[in-house]
Amino acid sequence: MLAGEQGEPVRKAMEILLALGKIYGAEDLVPVTHVQIAGVSFKNLGEAGLEFLWEWADKGARVRVPTTLNPAGMDMAQWREMGIPLEFAHKQVAVVDAYLAMGVQRTLSCTPYLVGYRPGMGEHLAWSESSAVSFANSVLGARSNREGGPSALAAAITGRTPKYGLHLASARLAHYRVQVHCPLQNEADFGALGYLVGKRVRNGVPYFQLRTAAPDLTVVPGRDVEGMLKALGAAMAASGAVALYHVEGVTPEACRGGVLSPDALPIVVASLAEAFAALNGPAGTIDFVSIGCPHASLAEIEQVAHLLRGKRVQATLWVTAARQTREEAKQRGWVEIIEAAGGHVVADTCVVVAPVELLGFKSMATNSAKAAFYAPLHSGLSVRFGPLEECIQAALTGKWGT
């Protein structure tokens, strides 16, 4: 590949991977079964990113393993209804077209494990969305470093990635033992915990002992365990750079044992108040409510539909999800209930990568610690953060805490 026998794009992709491998001291490359590429929204890519992609596509670059895309900056079908400016929409379509030309699948979702591809234990991947990397490593026991856009694309073109970091068993040991002494009742609590721990351990590997929550997590019927872990991992990857965590008695590698370093540093979390204080701004009036960061599962959309049945929202409500999830929810009648209440189930995008600053919103309520962390920085919104029920209440009244 490096000699150029398989063409210029493959040579260039291999060059990128070898440079990366040298930086991180990789001794080998490892074949990957799946690639997930972030860096899809034109909001983040800009003109330079768009040109870069078309340069690859025009030179004939093609992916050789199944490859999916992170969310774009708009719903590719309903962008007009979202209020997306025409110029942005054109650029966004051009970005997605460049990926499609290279053979990438148009999933446009940060939850490829819900749609597109669900990796198994020990599978090597090259994923770039931080929350998805965390989920794949931690909840599914697959192996991926957090790739940048170009390195993920290079992995897709060559089918390989440098073997370092979380591809090696030695890097999967936890060096922090986190004892949680407060109750964790919902996705917002898990997100708040993730916010606190991510800030503390940065890119380390934490091992959670959820004394109070573990029984809830494992035995309460219908409890959306994956939804809680999705919120936990996304928040840790946002406030820190955690790409792998273990939960005693819950995640697969923790269940197998031997992943807690004997000299792990202890961390005790006795309260989540600091996280809720940091992630909540002063906004009393709410004009925008965002659910689905990471992208909502079917179970989450069902819950929103349940809370909205027969009611009417005052604020703009987005439930963001993969298009495939939206289609399945539609077939079950949940999208209709949400739309009848005045809400929207928006596919292909999310509140952080869409240009919401152009849509005139001032204040947002969300049940996602990750969205609450990024929205003030990325979109200039004043944010309220709390569990789903409180967010839906805010959508119905236009106010927080009523």
* Chain residues in the site for ligand F3S (CB under 6 A): 70-71, 110, 131, 234, 293-295, 320, 350, 352-353, 370-371
CB-wise, 135 or 176, nearer to ligand F3S? 135
- CA distance from start to end of the chain: 62
Minimum CB separation of residue 292 from ligand F3S in Å reads 6
The burial of 117, by beta-carbon neighbours within 10 Å (0-12 exposed, 13-18 middle, 19 or more buried), is given as buried
Q: How far is CA 188 from CA 166, 218, 261, 389, in A?
A: 28, 18, 29, 10
CB atoms within 10 A of CB 116: 20
Q: CA 313, CA 17: separation in Å to the nearest integer? A: 49
> Which among 394, 233, 230 has a CA at the least distance from the CA of 300?
230
Q: Closer CB to ligand F3S, residue 192 or residue 371?
A: 371
Residue 105 pairs in a beta bridge with: 68
Could you tell me the smallest distance in angstroms from the CB atom of residue 144 to ligand F3S? 15
Calculate the CA dihedral of residues 323, 290, 309, 315 and round it to 10 degrees.
-130
131 vs 367 by CB, closer to ligand F3S: 131
**Residue with smaller CB distance to ligand F3S, 240 or 398:** 240
Give the nearest distance from C-beta 163 to ligand F3S in angstroms: 27
Place of tokens 């739309």: 339
Task: State the nearest-atom distance from the C-beta of 156 to ligand F3S, in Å.
Answer: 19
The Cα 153–Cα 147 span in angstroms is 9
164: nearest Cα among 145, 191, 189, 136: 145
Q: Considering beta carbons, is residue 156 or 350 the nearer one to ligand F3S?
A: 350
1/289 with CB nearer ligand F3S: 289
The alpha-carbon radius of gyration of the chain (Å, integer) is 21
CB of 137 to ligand F3S, least distance (A): 15
Give me the half-sphere count of Cα atoms (radius 13 Å) on the Cβ side of residue 251.
31
Provide the residue type at 52 as one letter.
F
Backbone angles phi, psi at 382, to 5 degrees: -85, 130
Which CB sits closer to ligand F3S, 45 or 234? Answer: 234
Min. distance of Cβ 257 from ligand F3S in angstroms?
30
Nearer to ligand F3S, 159 or 292 (CB): 292
In the complex, the smallest distance separating the C-beta of residue 37 from ligand F3S, rounded to whole angstroms, is 12
Shortest distance in whole angstroms from residue 6 CB to ligand F3S: 32
